Amino acid sequence: MNEQPLVVLGVTGSIAAYKAADLTSKLVQAGIEVRVVMTESATRLVQAQTFLTLSRQPVVTDLWSLPTWQPEHIALAERAALLAIVPATANILGKMANGIADDALSTFALSQAGPILVAPAMNPRMWANRAVQANCARLRDWGVTFVGPGSGRVACGDEGTGRLAPVEDILAAILARLGR
Ligand SMILES: Cc1cc2nc3c(=O)[nH]c(=O)nc-3n(C[C@H](O)[C@H](O)[C@H](O)COP(=O)(O)O)c2cc1C
């Protein structure tokens, strides 16, 4: 295995997106190369600059701004040891379960042949929604690893299942998936 494995970290538009910054820092400290791909919604909650600084790598926020001749989602997919989506919204889970590729992250997810790990985060009513549960069952069936969600109080004040799993648990699951 490559001495410094590449993890593509997808960050989506959940209020828990700020916790992905902590995860980025911990992955880098663990010797992992982290390349962050943010959805447009995620950039409304956390600045790309935060991930640029913590990962020390360019951050992809737009499918159409190409730094090289090769589309970034193809170039990264060839090197990625793991795609981790933290936090994963109901929306990205639905897109992945239905083959939709309409932005940089969902397009990357479709071009990723290797392992995928997701850590969902959403309001408990969203998590309990039948469409969301069916999408997650489908993704699990296809071999996607789920970490969480946990139970407790979510940001909007509701109680139930939907909280992002603790960053330490997600970090441990990523390192285990990489065999480290
Ligand atoms: C402040 C705020 C917080 C949100 N938090 C969540 C969340 O935790 N989980 C979720 O699934 N959607 C959440 N949403 C809704 C998503 O941002 C919305 O569904 C969006 O289309 C997701 O796009 P993306 O999956 O491309 O990031 C939130 C929206 C706002 C305005």
Q: What is the pLDDT of residues 11-53, one digit of tens each?
A: 999 999 999 999 999 999 999 999 999 999 999 999 999 999 9
Q: Which residues are catalytic?
A: 156
pTM of the model: 0.95
* Strands annotated E in 97-179: 116-120, 145-146, 150-153, 159-163
Spatial distance between the Cα atoms of 94 and 144, rounded to a whole number of angstroms = 13
With a 6 A CB cut-off, is 90 part of the ligand 1 pocket?
yes
pLDDT bin (cut points 50, 70, 90) of residue 103 is very high
Can you list the domains of the chain with their CATH numbers?
6-177 (3.40.50.1950)
Cα of 89 vs centre of ligand 1, distance in Å, is: 6
With a 6 A CB cut-off, is 92 part of the ligand 1 pocket?
yes
Q: What is the pLDDT of residues 104-151, one digit of tens each?
A: 999 999 999 899 999 999 999 999 999 999 999 999 999 999 999 999
Q: What is the dihedral of CA 22, 175, 155, 62, to 10 degrees?
A: 70
With a 6 A CB cut-off, is 13 part of the ligand 1 pocket?
yes
Spatial distance between the Cα atoms of 107 and 152, rounded to a whole number of angstroms = 32
